[in-house]
Amino acid sequence: MSDTASDIVRLRLKSWFGPILDEPGWRSNLVDDQADQLLHWGMAQVEETAVRTQNLPDDDADPLLEKDSTAVRLIMAGINDLIGTIGQEPEFDLVDDTMTRVLKNLRWLTNQPLRPDNLRRVSQFNQARDAADRAAAFQHLLALVQTNAG
């Protein structure tokens, strides 16, 4: 990657991922280690789009970056919300609705159908949630989004 291209990637990453960092809704239910892992996942997704669009003019790249950074922000917030349900009385509609939103945003981010093992990951999350194992539940959610994303 040339210096100019890497400057473009850096600027686009800062422009499109920076605002996500300023929102508290993606980490309020996470411990620092979990927040760091989710942050690295999200940044990698937006960086991948910035690299993929580095040779495009801003007018062409911005809609792609906006789509992907929005999907990443919504997935990160959804994971945070799902972790926040652990230890609460089970509101299955809330958990199911939030999981559905995470999966829909994952499909939107990746532009591909969900993989077959996603159902297993959702089941593993639900089992960990039922056991009030926040660490395991988070790892299952992280694995869920990593199976489809780059």
Question: For the chain, how are helix, strand and coil distributed in percent, rounded to 5?
Answer: 80, 0, 20
Q: Is the pLDDT at 1 greater than 60, yes or no?
A: no
Using DSSP's 3-state secondary structure scheme, residue 14 falls into: helix
Per-residue pLDDT, 93: 84
Question: Residues 75, 109: contact at Cβ < 8 Å?
Answer: yes
Q: Render pLDDT for 59-105 as a digit per residue (tens, 0 to 9).
A: 999 999 999 999 999 999 999 999 999 988 766 688 999 999 999 99
pTM: 0.91
Instruction: Tell the burial category of 37 from Cβ atoms under 10 Å away from its Cβ (0-12, 13-18, 19+).
Output: middle
Domain ranges for the chain: 3-148
Can you tell me the distance from the alpha carbon of 122 to that of 27, in angstroms, rounded to the nearest whole number?
20
CB atoms inside a 10 Å sphere around CB 78: 24
CB atoms inside a 10 Å sphere around CB 28: 13
Per-residue pLDDT, 38: 97
Q: Residue 148's closest CA among 104, 114, 98, 99?
A: 114
Q: Is the pLDDT at 143 greater than 70, yes or no?
A: yes
Can you tell me the distance from the alpha carbon of 74 to that of 62, in angstroms, rounded to the nearest whole number?
18
Q: Render pLDDT for 17-72 as a digit per residue (tens, 0 to 9).
A: 988 888 888 999 999 999 999 999 999 999 999 999 999 999 999 999 999 999 99
